Structure 1
Amino acid sequence: MAKRPLLPIPDAINPFRVKKQRLMNFNPVTAATSRRAVDKVRITVFEYDAKHIREEVTDNVENCLRYTKSDCIKWINVDGVRRDDVEKISGYFGVHALLMEDIMSEGQRAKMDEIGDNLFCLLPMIYFMPESSSIDIEQVSLVLGKNVVISFQDDPSRDVFNPIREKLRNNGTKLRMKGADYLLYALLDTIVDNYFVVMDQLGERIEILEEIIPRQPNNRTLARINFVRKETLLFKRAIAPVRELLNGLLKSENDLLREDTEKYFKDVYDHIVQANDLAESYRDLVMNLQELYHAQMNQKLNEVMKVLAVVTTLLAPMTVITGIYGMNFDVMPELRNPHGYFIVLGVMLTLFCTMIYIFRKRDWF
């Protein structure tokens, strides 16, 4: 059977070198943000109903504001968050200033708010980085208004929403037949489902570690265990508040959420509960890996001590004999015997072989 590849140890293994974009700071909404200004912004607009759809990709926020007059469902996805663009979009769609500050913040805990005529959701979108065996967290903000959903993301080069885009481009899909609240459900469901993809990758790393530990119980393996443990705890910490977010949506009586959509949000809630339980199980598995590592190290140490004990025991009789005949007395038995040297060697060899036979018979080594 081919050996599975070893886990790489990225530079981030140093606990004093933590990436800022992966910290969960839980800043209050009024805190001053330190978000870096992005150079590139991509805005994708889908305007659709059951029969028609219009799609536009632009880098100018002014181009998406003309969709405010239409009665069709609109999805405005902003990749790359800049304060000026957020302020313009928030102004046109009546997004409250507090929600705007949430959108501009970084590292916040997942949350749900209802302010004014909008319903707001903020949650992490999580990716797995195979080259470093680590996870990366991106904050996503979703604003639900009348016939419109606005989503804000940090990185314009990636997201997990392509399946939703494909469904919107196809006629007759449920997404095209439903309202904006169903689109919000679809976005949340896609983000939550991607959590399981990330957990599958983490689970594969845990399985690899289970195979490595018995073969290589060394400091490098311990570093891999600690790194996977840190990533697992970071993942669990990120997704845990999403359960409260979805619970808030289920309890909400906002007119933007129709009764026939509640069952879909209930389905997403069930998924996030499963994700939290699975993340807790992975945390326990990593802790078991640490216990397995220490058990292997103790077993290895016991084997070394066993060998040393056997060697010491085998040499003890010879040490006693040489010690006795090394004493400076004039009169000792066999001291003047011309064959005394060979007799003593024969006695020591006989004792040595006898002890090895007894130890082997008792399965001591």
Structure 2
Amino acid sequence: MSLKHQLTQSTFESILTDLEWIEGRASAPAGVLTQYCPKNVDRQPVSGVADLRDKSCDGITWLNWSGLGETSKMAKLFEHYGIHPLTAEDILNCESRSKLEESSESLFVVMKIPVSMEEVGVIEAVHFCLFWQGNTVLTFSEIPLKFLTDLDRRLDDPKRKIRSHGVDYLVWALLDLVTDHSLRFVEHLSDRVEEIEDQLIDDEVEIEMETIHEIKNEVTQTYRLIRPCREITAQLSSSDSVAMGENTARYFRDLHDHAAEAVEQVDHLRDKTASLRELYFTLMSHRMNGVMKVLTSLSAIFLPLTFLAGIYGMNFAHMPELGLRWAYPVFLVFLVSLAVVLAIYFKKKGWL
């Protein structure tokens, strides 16, 4: 297995797949409540408000909730944490646009996470929301996000920074995982575009125009989903929120760099997929020209042979060559020799 294939496979395994999207949409709404401080981490599953502990906690509280289908259960959850009805509406509305709302008491972020549905050639968007108030962080998503398990591993390690930093560091860590997933997704999309480009150049592989059209649509959809992340992270990197520490501000500036890199890469892919159409038509024209050149050369070879055969096919009584004993085999040898000479000449000229 080549190094490039290993990297491509690793990138693909780290992003959300169409199977996880389908299974996640069918799963029951549930969450995990994590409360931690520098000394310990406590984690418990949550299926409703009844499973929640008292909001007051000396450490940091993070509720990671997946599934937005049961409105009544979600309403109780919003009421428990004092979430404004308009904010709750944005959380439940999976079609709401990506945005950042910041106040003196809270921070609310809506982002879209791309998922490739390769069987149908479209990009689905996972609705992801983050709400931060005091020492509590709430995350909501349509489906379980497997890449958030990396944050659980970091929390379980007492040597990691996240245990000793404030809640603003947790917010950065969550948004950083979402942004990194988008960046890996763009890398996976870039690998697919390069693969199609290599197949276009390879004469032994035939690519349909539909394939190029599908990948162009996927790149366009991905750009539409990821582009707002750059504006969101830019606002966060320049935020003067009191709750955001000076040291953490450096991490948010780095987060903006990652988001900007993802947008720049997918913007480059937009130009590249547009050029794939031009490359496709250019190669098709080149191959057609090659076929026409061969057919023209063959026609040029058989044209004098057809002319000579036509002469001796005329029904004139006085044609002296017809009376000779070896006229027929000599004529055939002459025709074959003429065809060979013309073929060699055209081959040297590069026409065959």
What is the TM-score with the length of structure 2 in the denominator? 0.82
2:88 pairs, out of 96, 100, 107, with 100
Indicate the residue corresponding to 1:239 in structure 2: 226
Instruction: Work out whether residues 183 and 259 of structure 2, in 8 Å CA contact, stay in contact via their aligned partners in 1.
Output: no
Report what 1:111 is aligned to: 99
Residue of structure 1 in register with 2:43 after alignment: 55
| Residue 151 (1) aligns with residue 150 (2) | no
Matched, 1:88 2:76: yes
Counterparts in 2 of 1:209-358, with a 5 A limit? 209-213=196-200, 214-220=202-208, 222-326=209-313, 341=328, 344-358=331-345
Pair 1:76 & 2:66 matched: no
| Preserved CA contact (<8 Å) 1:67 1:74 | no
**Of residues 208, 211, 217 in structure 1, which corresponds to 2:195?**
208
| Structure 2 residue ranges without an equivalent (≥5) | 6-17
The alignment-based identity, stated in percent, is 29
Q: CA offsets per residue over residues 321-349 of structure 1, 9 Å max, x none?
A: 34445556666675777766556545534
Equivalent position of 2:13 in the other structure:
none
| Amino acid corresponding to residue 98 of structure 1 in structure 2 | L
Distance 2:207 2:160 in 1: 54
The answer as to whether partners of 2:155 and 2:162 remain within 8 angstroms in 1 is yes
Structure 2 vs 1, CA of residues 43 and 349 (structure 1 numbering), >3 Å: closer, same or farther?
closer
- Can you list the C-alpha shifts for 1:149-205, whole angstroms capped at 9, x where unaligned? 10001113x431111112222224321222222111110001111123223322332
Q: For structure 1, which segment, 93-102 or 351-360, has the greater mean C-alpha deviation from structure 2 after superposition?
A: 351-360
Partner of 1:362: 349
| Equivalenced residues, count | 333
SS at 1:44 equivalent: strand
Q: What SS is found at the alignment partner of 2:55?
A: helix
Amino acid at match of 2:189: L
Pairwise CA distance, 1:274: 0.9
**Contact 2:25–2:142 (CA<8 Å) still a contact in 1?**
no
C-alpha RMSD of the superposition: 3.2
In structure 2, relative to structure 1, the CA distance for the partners of 1:85 and 1:131 (3 Å cut) is: same
AA in 2 matched with 1:243: R
Distance 1:320 1:205 in 2: 54
Instruction: Name whichever of 340-349 and 272-281 sits farther off.
Output: 340-349
Question: SS at 1:68's partner residue?
Answer: coil
**Structure 2 counterpart of 1:7:** none
Would the alpha carbon gap of residues 139 and 360 (structure 1) be closer, same or farther in structure 2, given more than 3 Å must change?
same
SS in 2 for 1:76: strand
Which AA in structure 2 matches 1:51?
A: K
Structure 1 residue 40 and structure 2 residue 28: aligned? yes
**Residue 80 to residue 330, structure 1, CA distance change in 2 (3 Å):** same
Go from structure 1 to structure 2 and tell me whether the alpha carbon gap of 1:138 and 1:323 turns closer, same or farther (over 3 Å shift): same
Alpha-carbon distance between aligned partners in 2 of 1:363 and 1:251, rounded to the nearest angstrom: 64
8 Å Cα contact 1:128-1:201 kept in structure 2: no
Higher helix proportion, which one? Answer: 2
Q: CA deviation at 1:55?
A: 1.3
C-alpha contact 1:250 1:262 (8 A) present in aligned 2 = yes
**Residue 187 (structure 2) pairs with residue 187 (structure 1):** no
Structure 2 Cα separation of the partners of residues 349 and 323 of structure 1: 16
Alpha-carbon distance change, 59 to 38 in structure 1, aligned in 2, over 3 angstroms = farther
Q: For the residues of structure 1 that align with 2:45 and 2:322, how far apart are their CA atoms?
A: 105
1:199 aligns with 2:186: yes
| TM-score, scaled relative to structure 1 | 0.79
Unaligned regions of 5+ residues in structure 1, if any?
Answer: 5-18, 23-35
- 2:130 aligns to what? 142
Give the letter for the 2:80 counterpart. Answer: Y
Deviations 1:19-60, CA, capped at 9 Å, x for gaps: 9xx9xxxxxxxxxxxxx9976121211112222332111212
Cα drift, residue 136 of structure 1: 4.2
Instruction: From 92, 111, 115, give the equivalent of 1:123.
Output: 111
